[in-house]
Structure 1
Amino acid sequence: MFDSRRPRVLAALCAALAVAMLASCDRGGNAAAESGSSDTPASRSGTKPNIVYVLTDDLAWNLVKYMPHVQEMQKKGTTFSNFFATDSLCCPSRTSILTGQYPHNTGVFTNSGDDGGYRAFLKNGNEKKTFGPSLQRAGYRTGFMGKYLNGYQPGDKNGTDKPYVPSGWDEWDVAGEGYNEYNYELNENGKVVPYGKAPQDYLTDVLSKKATSFIGASAEEKKPFMLEVATFAPHGPYVPAPRDKGKFPGSRIRRPMPMTRRPSTRRNGSAPCHR
């Protein structure tokens, strides 16, 4: 469960995302991007770059040193040295990523309730403002996989007669409650597909295979593509893939004092503040 008052830290690894956001959302802005070369093949030829955007949930930067695959993505991707987070909460931040707008423009201020999460996202018409439709109009093949917004369920119909796919996405493989990595459902292009607890059902691996398939199909069609893969990991309850269990024997997580000690009433009689 999300505590809507608790800041969420979302770490993202991007490949040429600045090009996507500036070109697709038709908005001005300043961003400094660094890569292996400032003069990329796409910029020299004027072609449209392919974009793979991986958004993780609660990935702390001090964990990256244990993740060689993430480090490899970082080396081959684009690093933004000048960037801004519009909000540290999960859903307001995700909505800003999808629309390029601030929370006071999107109307998504928290993770649940009338002013937060998927409900507020829909109520304020944000699905029509995402970069998906804009990139489609620009000739891109678009894909979205993994986590959408808090409160979304794969079977949501949104006024239609069957599970719907938001406009702007050629490939849609999105889960609702995927934090446990097993026993979840995916909306696979309008069809709700249940997954169990077999090793091959591990959600992050399922998303990886679907992402690889999407990229291969896009290459065959010879169309530029934009793919967002939004994992539920490493958000708690911290369920590793079967092959990764026991990889760090003896390692312990150091927790700050407030996480291990219950709040107590102050001597002057005032009540503690619970978060």
Structure 2
Amino acid sequence: MLSRRKSTWRLRALLLLAGLAAAWLAAALGRSAELASARPSIVVIQTDDQTVRMLHSSFVGPNGRKHRTMPNTIGLIADRGVEFTNYYSSIPVCSPSRSALLSGQYGHTSGLIRNVGVLGGARGLSTSPVWGRNLAVALKRAGYYTAHFGRLVNGYGNGEGYSDPKVPPGWSNWATDWTPGIARRFYGYKLNVNGRIVGPIGKLRYQARRNKDPRSCPDGGLACSYHTDQITTRALRVIRHAPRRPLYIQIDYEAPHGVADGNGTSEPASRHIGSAVRTPVPKPPGFNEFDISDKPKALRAGSRKLTRAEITQLRERWQNELESLRAVDESVGRVIRTLRRTGRLRNTYVFFVADNGAFFGEHRYSRSKFLAYEPSANVPMMVRGPGVKRDRRSGAIVSNVDLAPTIADLANVRLMIPPDGRSMKRLFRYPRRIGRRAVILESYRLPSRALYSHLEDEGIPVPDDLGASASATVPAVNYTAIRAGRYKYIEYERGGRELYDLKLDPGEVSNRIHWRAYRRVARRFERQIKWRRFCSGATCRKGTGRLPLPKLGRR
């Protein structure tokens, strides 16, 4: 009898242990499944008017020593992930480019084609379907904690643009530049912090008086009033204290863009003033171009070579903008360190991009952007995160219209408006797969006024002139361009075409549109551009097929 009781007790004990083991295993498997299916956090860091050359530049200080301008950005993102060397801004101007990031659409699809007014900028964006159906709205609906810091688009906080302090749809946390007119300020600016206008923060023209930020900056909290430091500090607070759910954080720096109400150059943080004082301006192929006779007439009109005085001004602007990027680079390091300390880095994708580039003397242009040439349209883009190959460079041709579908793909979220771009996720794992992709570069060209019927229905007048209105020194010419393979093909509305072989001519000095060796290439692009200029959705994502090679040796 006693033996039978012992056997029963042992059996019960074994069953209990087996049950506990099964429960522990199920819990462990459940936790593993939960972790495996956990949506990643995403951080997008965007600069304003930064060129690829700036990203990889070095500066020379007063002591004559050379230093890398952005060592954190290169070391913590590019070296830990993939850099895309053929990433393009579809409309190389601030507001249209930033709108494309949120919509995933070309300007000719969304209708957001200008920097200000009803066709773009804050006013255009706020009256567009993109305002309430963009990437951030989709992510927030899917459970993401979304936060925006810094610059939105031109005219936000301006009575002629959009001046409603209410936080726009899609954002859980909002600390965005609230700026009168088109002025950009690195000191003495205001922010819309979750519907409350804060500021001025710091003193206007602070660095011009050689005053100093606290020595603790950039890590001194909100006492650091320099714009780059301030919005980074606010972003870090969200990373540290936001609910334990996936984050979407977009940090939009003003740097290295010049100050619109000052002398036109950027304002570095006070600690960086003069640190690049001995740095020369780069003079790549095409700098102060000697012969522009092969350029279209609209670009030749009024063009002249830069003077010595203008080149001196270019050098000073180059130095100031590199100095302003030093604070951005410090901020990249702060963001990565905070993600690591909070345990989020392992499941976070960090993107570094620019809205558009800028000219520094190439093709005789001393400033601005807008045109389809490489300094203006080809901009920095790199990413690190789970599953992304380390220390790789990809030559795949991609665009800012690809960012929204990529982020939606990573987050397993469906966009609310059909994108023209496509996900780059596969390229993160296989960066050497170039494919036969074509992307569109365009100015302010529109398919029809029908895009703006929603404005006319509300009694908002739409300008009769839907043409270009470039900023600064480049001509206001409408164009559509295709970037595919080794080529770039450009057609201008007023007449004139360009064809560049970027493999042989990265400086875009020799227009090969009339070369016999490139006749088949030109004809292919003539056919392609007829339908690509008005593409939408899946038609924009069609490949080019195998592009013909030039018959070299024939001019």
Task: Return the TM-score normalized by structure 1.
Answer: 0.71
Answer yes or no: is 1:222 the counterpart of 2:244: yes
Is the contact between residue 154 and residue 175 of structure 1 (CA under 8 Å) also seen in structure 2? no
Q: 2:194 aligns with which of 185, 189, 201?
A: 189
1:111 is matched with which residue?
115
Answer yes or no: is 1:204 the counterpart of 2:240: no
Is the contact between residue 55 and residue 230 of structure 1 (CA under 8 Å) also seen in structure 2? yes
In structure 2, what residue type is equivalent to 1:196?
G
Structure 2: any 5+ residue segments left out of the alignment?
Answer: 1-31, 57-68, 207-212, 214-223, 259-264, 289-303, 311-363, 365-473, 477-555
In structure 2, what residue type is equivalent to 1:45?
A
2:253 is matched with which residue?
231
- String of CA shifts for 1:229-254, please: whole Å, max 9, x gaps: 01010111211112212222311325
Structure 2 vs 1, CA of residues 211 and 75 (structure 1 numbering), >3 Å: closer, same or farther? Answer: farther
1:260 is matched with which residue?
306
Is the contact between residue 157 and residue 163 of structure 2 (CA under 8 Å) also seen in structure 1? no
Deviation at 1:68, TM superposition (A): 0.9
1:64 is matched with which residue?
55
Is the contact between residue 107 and residue 121 of structure 1 (CA under 8 Å) also seen in structure 2? no
Once superposed, what is the RMSD of the aligned Cα atoms? 2.9
Structure 2 vs 1, CA of residues 202 and 252 (structure 1 numbering), >3 Å: closer, same or farther? Answer: same
In structure 2, what residue type is equivalent to 1:232?
E
Structure 2 vs 1, CA of residues 76 and 44 (structure 1 numbering), >3 Å: closer, same or farther? Answer: farther
Deviation at 1:139, TM superposition (A): 1.0
Structure 2 vs 1, CA of residues 192 and 154 (structure 1 numbering), >3 Å: closer, same or farther? Answer: farther
CA distance in structure 2 between the aligned counterparts of 1:260 and 1:125, rounded to whole angstroms: 43
Structure 2 vs 1, CA of residues 42 and 142 (structure 1 numbering), >3 Å: closer, same or farther? Answer: farther
Secondary structure of 1:88's match? Answer: coil
Mapping for residues 13-28 of structure 1, pairs under 5 Å:
none
Deviation at 1:217, TM superposition (A): 1.3
Structure 2 vs 1, CA of residues 44 and 223 (structure 1 numbering), >3 Å: closer, same or farther? Answer: closer
Q: 1:54 aligns with which of 21, 39, 45?
A: 45
CA distance in structure 2 between the aligned counterparts of 1:154 and 1:201, rounded to whole angstroms: 22
- String of CA shifts for 1:94-121, please: whole Å, max 9, x gaps: 1110111221222111112332211111
Structure 2 vs 1, CA of residues 44 and 90 (structure 1 numbering), >3 Å: closer, same or farther? Answer: same
Identity of paired residues, percent?
A: 30
Mapping for residues 66-145 of structure 1, pairs under 5 Å:
66-71=69-74, 72-80=76-84, 85-145=89-149
In structure 1, what residue type is equivalent to 2:235?
A
CA distance in structure 2 between the aligned counterparts of 1:248 and 1:127, rounded to whole angstroms: 40
Structure 1: any 5+ residue segments left out of the alignment?
Answer: 1-40, 264-272
Answer yes or no: is 1:166 the counterpart of 2:168: yes
Is the contact between residue 99 and residue 130 of structure 1 (CA under 8 Å) also seen in structure 2? yes
Deviation at 1:165, TM superposition (A): 0.4
Mapping for residues 144-163 of structure 1, pairs under 5 Å:
144-153=148-157, 156-158=162-164, 163=165
Secondary structure of 1:54's match? Answer: strand
Structure 2 vs 1, CA of residues 215 and 138 (structure 1 numbering), >3 Å: closer, same or farther? Answer: same
Deviation at 1:70, TM superposition (A): 1.5
Q: 1:179 aligns with which of 180, 184, 188?
A: 184
CA distance in structure 2 between the aligned counterparts of 1:274 and 1:226, rounded to whole angstroms: 38
Structure 2 vs 1, CA of residues 78 and 212 (structure 1 numbering), >3 Å: closer, same or farther? Answer: farther
Is the contact between residue 154 and residue 187 of structure 1 (CA under 8 Å) also seen in structure 2? no
2:486 is matched with which residue?
none
Secondary structure of 1:144's match? Answer: strand
Secondary structure of 1:56's match? Answer: strand
Which stretch shifts more, 137-146 or 60-69? 60-69
CA distance in structure 2 between the aligned counterparts of 1:154 and 1:192, rounded to whole angstroms: 13
CA distance in structure 2 between the aligned counterparts of 1:89 and 1:154, rounded to whole angstroms: 19
In structure 1, what residue type is equivalent to 2:50?
L
Secondary structure of 2:79's match? Answer: helix
Secondary structure of 2:254's match? Answer: coil
CA distance in structure 1 between the aligned counterparts of 2:228 and 2:104, rounded to whole angstroms: 26
CA distance in structure 1 between the aligned counterparts of 2:130 and 2:196, rounded to whole angstroms: 23
CA distance in structure 2 between the aligned counterparts of 1:136 and 1:206, rounded to whole angstroms: 24
CA distance in structure 2 between the aligned counterparts of 1:149 and 1:42, rounded to whole angstroms: 40
2:273 is matched with which residue?
245
Secondary structure of 1:260's match? Answer: coil
2:447 is matched with which residue?
none
Is the contact between residue 48 and residue 257 of structure 2 (CA under 8 Å) also seen in structure 1? yes
Deviation at 1:134, TM superposition (A): 0.8
CA distance in structure 2 between the aligned counterparts of 1:51 and 1:190, rounded to whole angstroms: 24
In structure 1, what residue type is equivalent to 2:126?
L
Is the contact between residue 191 and residue 198 of structure 2 (CA under 8 Å) also seen in structure 1? yes
Q: Radius of gyration: which is bigger?
A: 2
2:498 is matched with which residue?
none
In structure 2, what residue type is equivalent to 1:46?
S
In structure 2, what residue type is equivalent to 1:210?
R
In structure 1, what residue type is equivalent to 2:230?
V
Task: Return the TM-score normalized by structure 2.
Answer: 0.37
Is the contact between residue 139 and residue 146 of structure 2 (CA under 8 Å) also seen in structure 1? yes
- String of CA shifts for 1:191-217, please: whole Å, max 9, x gaps: 000112263210000011011111111
